[in-house]
Copies of this chain bind each other. A is one copy, B any other.
């Protein structure tokens, strides 16, 4: 996994998703070299970069032009080219134009999470996966509810991480914001 500090960061664009959370999202997504991935709310591009290293094709979407630009910079920094398409715009509109894909990763949803999951589900190939990272109390429930409505069985993992900081007087534990990862697989019909 790429260390957090190896990503270019700019004020005003969230992310990159912390290393341990990227790691767990990748574990739940189980990307393979043949997968087509959609990354909604790409922010700084942390998940986009990790996905691009593991999948065939990544569509990275963000409505914030600064985020799209920063993701572009982080792709370049990690020497990724060719298999990522950056799409500035509203997630629902962009998703609507995409063909089918294997994995939908949702980091930011701007209040449209249920619709993003539902639309994503329609476009998802059989045995495809949806993985949502939630930092809000509300989106956790929206994800669980939407997955259940779609007949998918969500797996919910809340992750609380503290990292040790080596100081002269000892190892200080620094807490991170908890993240909840909600994921589900589209069963073959």
Q: Could you tell me which A residues sit within 8 Å of B by CB distance?
A: 1, 19-20, 23-24, 27, 30, 110-111, 135-141, 144, 148, 153-164, 166-167, 169-178, 182
A156 touches B164 (CB 8 A): yes
Q: How far is the CB of A46 from chain B (nearest CB, A)?
A: 13
A135 touches B173 (CB 8 A): yes
Residues of the B chain whose Cβ atoms lie less than 8 Å from the Cβ of A160: 159-162, 175
Cα separation A136 to B172 with both chains bound (whole Å): 5
Q: How far is the CB of A78 from chain B (nearest CB, A)?
A: 15
A171 touches B156 (CB 8 A): yes
B164 touches A154 (CB 8 A): yes
Residues of the B chain whose Cβ atoms lie less than 8 Å from the Cβ of A167: 136
Known: A23-B23, A136-B172. A166 touches B153 (CB 8 A): yes
Cα separation A170 to B111 with both chains bound (whole Å): 9
| Among candidates B110, B154, B166, B177, residue contacting A162 with C-beta atoms closer than 8 Å | B177
Cα separation A82 to B30 with both chains bound (whole Å): 25
Other than A153-B166, A160-B162, give 19 A-B pairs with Cβ distance below 8 A: A19-B27, A135-B172, A136-B170, A137-B137, A137-B156, A137-B170, A138-B170, A138-B171, A140-B141, A144-B166, A155-B163, A155-B164, A156-B163, A158-B161, A158-B173, A159-B159, A159-B160, A160-B160, A164-B182
